[in-house]
Structure 1
Amino acid sequence: MTEASTPSSVDDEAVLLVGHGSRREKSNEQVRELAAGLESRLGVPVDAAFLELAKPSIEDAIADLASVVSAVTVVHCSLFAAGHVKNDVPLAIERARASHDDLEIHNGRHLGIHPAILEVLDDRVAAVETELGVDRETDDLAVVLCGRGSSDPDSNADVHKLARLLHEGRPFSRVEPTFIGVTEPTLEETLHDLSKHRPDAVAVIPYMLGDGVLTGRVREWTAEFDDDYPYVEALAGDPLGTDSRLLDVFADRWQEARTDSVEMSCDTCKYKVGLEGYEEDVGGARAMLRALTHRESHADREDIDDEPHSHDAPANHVAVCTNRTCAEMGAPAVLERLRQAARDADDCDARITRSSCLGQCGDGPTVAVYPDSVWYGDVDESDADRIVGDHLVDGRLVSELVQETL
C-alpha cells in the first residue's frame, strides 16, 4: 500500500464539484446549490462545473481557479463509475494539467455506495409509506430502486449492491434493483414481476440526483402500474435532490482525493479486465475512443423533452496524443496546425483536442479520428492540411498515414 500524500493547505486550495450538465437550468442550479453547501461545510472555495450542456466546462473552471489557488480537488456528482467518471472527467483533467503546470489537481471518485446515501433512500421510502398509509413493520412493503442504467456492468452491479444494502436490516419484503433504460431489467418488467408476489404496497425510489425527465418517467410508469394492478398500492418517491447528507459523502470524497487515497474498482472495470461480453472494450486507447461515442450516439435529438440526453455533436472528433513521447516527436505542433487548418477550411465540422497516451508510443505523433475509428501514425505538422482537407472535409482517408482502424 502506498503512503498517502500530505494534503495541501486549505488556505491555498479549492474544490471543483462536477455535474453532468443539463439544458434544464433547474438541474444545473441544483449542482450549484450543492457546491455552496459544500463550501460552507469544508470552509474552502467550491465552484461548480459541468461535463456538457452547461457552463463552465471543467477546463474553464480550472483555468479560473488556477489564478487564485495552487491546488484543485475535483469531486464528482456522478452516482456510479461509468464512462463519465472513468473517461471524460480524467481526459478533461489531463488537458487542464497540460495547460497549468504549476497547479496541483487531484481527481476524486464518484459518490458510490455510502451509509449517508442509504439513510437518504430509507427516508425516501418512509415518505412513500406515509403517503400510502402503510407501515413496513406490519404491511408487506416492497421497494424498487430504479437507477438510470448504463452500458458499464460495474456501474449496474453497484445498483444491485445498493439495493441489497437497503434491504439488509430492514423489514421490507423485498428490494428490487431496476433501470429506466440502457440495460435490464427495466422498471416496467420489474413492476410486473412484483405483481405476482401480491405485496400490499410498492415504493419506487428513483436513484438519481435531479428531478427531471427520467424521474418523470419513473412516476409515469409507476402510476400506470398502480392503475393496472388495483390490488397493489404503488407510488414513486423523490430522488436524492440536494439533501444535506450528500455533503457528508462529498466531504469524504474530497478528503480521499486530496490525500491521494482514492480507490476505484479496477477488478471489475471493463476497460481493464476482459469481462464476459465486454472483451472489445479492454484497453485505455479503445476506452478513450469509446467514450467519444457518447456524444455521437446522443447527438442532435430534436425533442429534448423526450430525450434528456441530447447533444450537438460535431461530425468528427479528432484526438491528438500529447503524452511525453509524442510531444517530443512534435505532437503540439501537429495539434495546433490541425486546429488552424480546420478553422481555415470552408466546411470542416470537427472538434480537435489533445489526449493522454493512446498506447502507440514510438509510432507517434498519433492522431485518432472518430467516429471513423481511424488512427494516423507518424504524423508530421505538414500532414495536418491533408488530414483536414482529405479526411475531415472530403471523407477520404490519407492512406499512407493510416496506422490502425478499430
Structure 2
Amino acid sequence: MSTPDNADETTSARATAFDDEAILLIGHGSRREKSNEQVRELAAALESRLGIPVDAAFLELAEPAIDEAIAELAALTSQVTVVHCSLFAASHVKNDVPLAIEQARAAYDLEIDNGAHLGVHPAILDLLDDRAAAVEDELGVDRAEDDVAVVLCGRGSSDPDANGDVHKLARLLYEGREFDRVEASFIGVTEPTLEESLHGLSKHRPDAVVVLPYMLGDGVLTQRVRDWTTEFDDEYPYVDALAGDPLGTDSRLLDVFADRWQEARSDSVEMSCDTCKYKVDLEGYEEDVGGARAMLRALAHQQSHADREDVDDEPHSHDAPGKHVAVCTNQTCAKMGSPAVLERLRQAARDSDHCDARITRTSCLGRCGDGPMVAVYPDGIWYGDVASEDAERIVGDHLDRDRIVSDLVDQTL
C-alpha cells in the first residue's frame, strides 16, 4: 500500500482498530506474483472500505501462509474474520481453510469467524454483464440486435456443488438479459470443457460468441481460455468469438467481501450442505462422504479430549487417535495408484505395535497431478507422489516415531 501524508495517524488508527477486530482475506496463491498482488490490492481496498485492518494470506505458492498470517494477527487482536477469495465452495473452502482455522483456534486465544466463499451474488452478475458488454463493443455487436451467445468458463472442480454453482451463475446471467444463450463450461476436471461448448455453439450459428473467464487473476488458465477462443474463431470464420477479462480487482468485489464479512461475524453464513459431497451421498461421489470432513472431526475430537485432560471426573468411553491419515482416492490419484497406497498403509498400521492413527480415504486434495497424495493430521504434512512401497516408511517413521519422511513431502500446513 502507498504511504499517505498522514502516515503516523493512519498507523495509529490501524493499531487501535486491531484491538477490536481484523479481517484475513485468503487467496489461493499463484506462481505469478501479479495474481498474488491482486489479492493484496483487494485486501487494501477492503480495509479502506470497511475501516478495519485487512491482511492477505494464501493457501499455497505465495506468502504469508494462513498459519503465519494468523500467528501475526494473534499478537494484535482478539478477533479475526476470515473472508475467502474462492469463487465457489470446493475442497479449499470446505476442507483446507477450516483445518487451518481449527489448528489456529487450538494454538491461540483468538476468536476466529469463518466466512463463506464469493459464490453467487448480484454484484458479480453485474460485473460479468459489464465484462460481456466490453467484448461486444470490441466485436462491434449488440445483443439487442444480434444473436450473442455467452460462455461462462470456470476452472472446473471435482466437487459437484461448486460445478453446479457455475451453471446457476450462467443461468442467472441469462435471465432478464437479451443474450441468445448463456452456457457454462470448464477448463478441465469436469465437463463440458470450453472446447466442447464452443464447438456445440457453432451449430447454432450465432453472430458472436463472448467467452467470460470466471476467475479472479489473469494467469495461465485465463490465457488458455483466450487461446482456445482464438482457435475457435479461426476455425469458424462465420462466428466472431473473443474472450473477455477475468474479475480482477473490480470494486464490486468489495461489495461481496463486505457481505461475506457481515455474515461471518453475525453467525449467518449459509453453505450448501444438502448438496455437499462430504455430507450426503451423491450419485458417483459416495466414497467422498466423511473424507475431508473426517479430518476436521478428528482434529476437533482430539482437541476436546486435550481440553479435558485435567478434569478428573470427565467420563471417557474412548480416546481419539493420535493422528489422522487421509489418502486421496479421487479420480486422478486413483489412476496413479492411491487405492493400493491406502491398503498398504492400513496393513502397515495393523502390523505396527505403536501406530495410533486412523487411516481413511478422502476426496480431492487439490494437488491433481502430484499424487497419490497422503495427508497426515494434526501435523499438517502432505506427502506427494506416494507409491505403495512407501507405506511402510510413512507408518514406521512418521506415525510410529514422529520422523517426517522428507523426500516425500509435498507441502506443510
Which bin holds the TM-score, normalised by the shorter protein? 0.7 to 0.9
Give the match for residue 120 of structure 1. 127
What is the aligned counterpart of 1:45 among 53, 57, 79? 53
Give the match for residue 249 of structure 1. 256
Q: Is the 8 A contact 2:102 2:299 kept in 1?
A: no
Give the match for residue 107 of structure 2. 99
Give the match for residue 81 of structure 1. 89
Give the match for residue 69 of structure 1. 77
1:69-122 deviation digits (Å, cap 9, x = unpaired):
110000000000000000000000000001112x11000000000000000000
Change (3 A) 1:70 1:116: same
Q: Does 1:173 align with 2:180?
A: yes
CA distance in 2, matches of 1:32, 1:71: 20
SS at match of 2:22: strand
Q: Is the 8 A contact 2:102 2:300 kept in 1?
A: no
Q: Is the 8 A contact 2:106 2:303 kept in 1?
A: no
CA distance in 1, matches of 2:355, 2:201: 64
CA distance in 1, matches of 2:178, 2:293: 44
CA distance in 1, matches of 2:140, 2:56: 40
Change (3 A) 1:290 1:204: farther
CA distance in 1, matches of 2:198, 2:253: 28
Q: Is the 8 A contact 1:154 1:268 kept in 2?
A: yes
CA distance in 2, matches of 1:11, 1:173: 53
Q: One-letter code of the match for 1:122?
A: D
Change (3 A) 1:382 1:157: closer
Give the match for residue 157 of structure 1. 164
Q: Any residues of structure 2 matched to 1:12-51 within 5 Å, and which?
A: 12-51=20-59
Give the match for residue 245 of structure 2. 238
SS at match of 2:223: helix
Change (3 A) 1:23 1:227: same
Give the match for residue 364 of structure 2. none
Give the match for residue 281 of structure 2. 274
CA distance in 1, matches of 2:200, 2:309: 59
SS at match of 1:202: strand
Give the C-alpha shift of residue 365 in structure 1.
2.7
SS at match of 2:222: helix
CA distance in 1, matches of 2:65, 2:263: 23
Give the match for residue 110 of structure 1. 117
CA distance in 1, matches of 2:198, 2:390: 48
Change (3 A) 1:68 1:237: same
Q: Is the 8 A contact 2:323 2:356 kept in 1?
A: no
Q: Is the 8 A contact 1:116 1:248 kept in 2?
A: yes
CA distance in 2, matches of 1:201, 1:48: 39
- How many residues are paired up? 329
1:279-315 deviation digits (Å, cap 9, x = unpaired):
11111xx225799xxxxxxxxxxxxxxxxxxxxxxxx
Give the match for residue 395 of structure 1. 393
Q: Is the 8 A contact 1:321 1:365 kept in 2?
A: no
What is the aligned counterpart of 2:67 among 59, 76, 100? 59
Change (3 A) 1:393 1:232: closer
What is the aligned counterpart of 2:231 among 212, 224, 227? 224
1:203-235 deviation digits (Å, cap 9, x = unpaired):
000000000000000000000000000000000
Q: Is the 8 A contact 1:39 1:46 kept in 2?
A: yes
Q: One-letter code of the match for 2:264?
A: A
Q: Is the 8 A contact 1:82 1:155 kept in 2?
A: yes
Q: Is the 8 A contact 2:20 2:78 kept in 1?
A: yes
SS at match of 1:12: coil
Give the C-alpha shift of residue 370 in structure 1.
4.8
Q: Is the 8 A contact 1:325 1:361 kept in 2?
A: no
Q: Any residues of structure 2 matched to 1:179-328 within 5 Å, and which?
A: 179-283=186-290, 286-288=291-293, 322-325=302-305
Superposition TM-score, scaled by structure 2 size: 0.74
Give aligned-pair identity as a percent: 72
Change (3 A) 1:396 1:60: closer
CA distance in 1, matches of 2:300, 2:390: 14
Q: Is the 8 A contact 2:321 2:356 kept in 1?
A: no
Change (3 A) 1:170 1:323: same
Give the match for residue 383 of structure 2. none
Change (3 A) 1:281 1:383: closer
Q: Is the 8 A contact 1:17 1:47 kept in 2?
A: yes
Change (3 A) 1:329 1:366: farther
Give the C-alpha shift of residue 368 in structure 1.
2.8
Which sections of structure 2, spanning at least 5 residues, go unmatched? 1-16, 311-315, 328-340, 358-375, 377-388, 401-413
Q: Is the 8 A contact 1:16 1:47 kept in 2?
A: yes
Q: One-letter code of the match for 1:368?
A: H
CA distance in 2, matches of 1:176, 1:98: 44
Which sections of structure 1, spanning at least 5 residues, go unmatched? 1-8, 292-317, 331-359
Give the C-alpha shift of residue 381 in structure 1.
8.5
Give the match for residue 3 of structure 1. none
Q: Is the 8 A contact 2:35 2:217 kept in 1?
A: yes
Give the match for residue 136 of structure 2. 129
CA distance in 2, matches of 1:382, 1:135: 67
Change (3 A) 1:362 1:214: same
